[in-house]
């Protein structure tokens, strides 16, 4: 506690467990991925340095480009569909309609259930023969709308994405907490000025939670790039690679003992994630400073 004598030995001892785990599972793996991404290596023979040839090969590969595109679609759907839906829900719940605490708890529920269980559940719902989605469409006379949802190229990707995007609970919780912390006096002042509910949301709530929205969208992009489980379980990338994502491709390259290419994909994941996050922060940062100059 005394500023004069820092107990370095004690401090080091307390930091040691985290330092060991962090170096072994974050620092070393990150360096490893970037270095071996520039090699030809199968995990057994000695690796040979090949520079950027893995990356050149990857970008010439149709499946890789499709996977990268799909990751962007995932990120886009989460950031620009899921986050806005979560925001609207949070705005509605923040006005404390009857049962809002119950709804808040239930909306978040899917987030504590494993991706595997959820994927298996939705596979049953989407199933072409006994799936309830097709049964439902037939029952209300929309038989022509029925599909083999996960088996057709046109519907597979939207189907896998939809079962994630519609679970809005995660971002709803974050944004709701932000809205509830806005002082009531701001809304009272807006109401005195004659602003209706919609205007209050647009001119009071939205500007006040901009930081949280940036955080949510950053997280959404990160999740979009990391996505793996649902695709692996529901379609394994098919039909015809139409639902493939980078994580899955990495897993497959690793299974084929092409560690060089696998780690090049890993590097792309890390770099793309970092760049997109910086990009989002910059765009929203600029919006923020622009609005400040207006005021």
Partner 1 sequence: MGRNRSPSLIADRAASLAKWLFLLFFLIITLFPLIWLVISSFKTNLEFQTKPFSIPELWQFANYINAVSISGLHLLFLHTIVVSFASTALNILAASMAAFVISREPFRGHETVFNIVVAGILVPVIALMVPYFRLISGLGLYDTLFGLIITYAAVSIPVSVFLIHGFMRSIPRELEEAAVIDGCSLAQRFTRVIFPLSRLGLVTAGTFVFLFSWNEFIYALLLTSSVKARTLQLGIRFFKSQFITDYTSMYAAIVLSIIPTIFVYILFHDKIIKGMTSGAVKG
Residues of span 46-75 touching partner 1 by CB under 8 A: none
79 binds partner 1 (CB under 8 A): no
- C-alpha to C-alpha distance for 189 and 204, rounded to whole angstroms: 10
Least gap, CB of 64 to partner 1 (angstroms): 14
The C-alpha torsion from 222 through 225 and 227 to 232, rounded to 10°, is -170
Site residues for partner 1, 113-152, by CB under 8 A, read 113-118, 120-122, 124-125, 129-132, 135, 139
Least gap, CB of 242 to partner 1 (angstroms): 21
- C-alpha to C-alpha distance for 157 and 149, rounded to whole angstroms: 9
CB 217 within 8 A of CB 83: yes
Site residues for partner 1, 275-294, by CB under 8 A, read 277
| Burial bucket for residue 75 (CB in 10 Å: 0-12, 13-18, 19+) | buried
Instruction: Figure out which of the listed residues 143, 188, 193, 288 binds partner 1, where binding follows CB under 8 A.
Output: 188
Site residues for partner 1, 146-185, by CB under 8 A, read 166-170, 173-174, 177-178, 184
95 binds partner 1 (CB under 8 A): yes
- C-alpha to C-alpha distance for 145 and 151, rounded to whole angstroms: 15
259 binds partner 1 (CB under 8 A): yes
Instruction: Figure out which of the listed residues 229, 238, 242, 284 binds partner 1, where binding follows CB under 8 A.
Output: 229
Instruction: Figure out which of the listed residues 44, 46, 51, 112 binds partner 1, where binding follows CB under 8 A.
Output: 112
CB 143 within 8 A of CB 81: no
**Residue 110, phi then psi, degrees to nearest 5:** -60, -25
The nearer residue to partner 1, 156 or 165, going by C-beta atoms, is 165
Question: How many residues make contact with partner 1 (CB under 8 A)?
Answer: 100
């Amino acid at each position: 506690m005394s500023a004069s004598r820092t107990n370095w030995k004690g401090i080091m001892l307390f930091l040691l467990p985290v330092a060991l785990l962090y170096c072994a599972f974050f620092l070393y793996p990150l360096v490893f991925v970037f270095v071996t991404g520039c090699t030809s290596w199968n995990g057994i023979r000695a690796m040979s340095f090949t520079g950027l040839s893995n990356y050149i090969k990857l970008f010439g590969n149709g499946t890789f480009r499709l996977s990268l595109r799909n990751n962007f679609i995932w990120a886009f759907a989460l950031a620009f569909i899921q986050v806005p839906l979560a925001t609207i829900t949070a705005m509605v719940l923040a006005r404390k309609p009857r049962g809002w605490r119950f709804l808040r708890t239930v909306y978040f529920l899917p987030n504590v259930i494993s991706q595997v269980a959820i994927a298996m559940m939705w596979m049953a719902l989407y199933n072409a023969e006994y799936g309830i989605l097709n049964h439902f469409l037939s029952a209300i006379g929309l038989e022509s709308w029925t599909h083999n949802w996960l088996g057709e190229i046109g519907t597979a990707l939207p189907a896998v994405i939809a079962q994630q995007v519609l679970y809005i609970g995660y971002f709803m919780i974050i944004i709701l907490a932000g809205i509830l912390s806005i002082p009531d006096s701001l809304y009272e002042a807006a109401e005195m000025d004659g602003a209706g509910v919609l205007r209050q949301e647009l001119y009071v709530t939205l500007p006040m939670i901009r930081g949280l929205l940036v955080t949510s969208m950053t997280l959404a992009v990160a999740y979009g790039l990391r996505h793996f489980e649902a695709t692996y379980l529901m379609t394994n990338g098919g039909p015809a690679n139409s639902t493939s994502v980078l994580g899955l491709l990495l897993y497959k390259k690793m299974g084929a003992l092409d560690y060089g290419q696998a780690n090049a994909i890993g590097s792309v994941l890390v770099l793309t994630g970092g760049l997109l996050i910086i990009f989002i922060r910059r765009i929203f940062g600029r919006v923020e400073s622009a609005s400040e100059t207006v005021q």
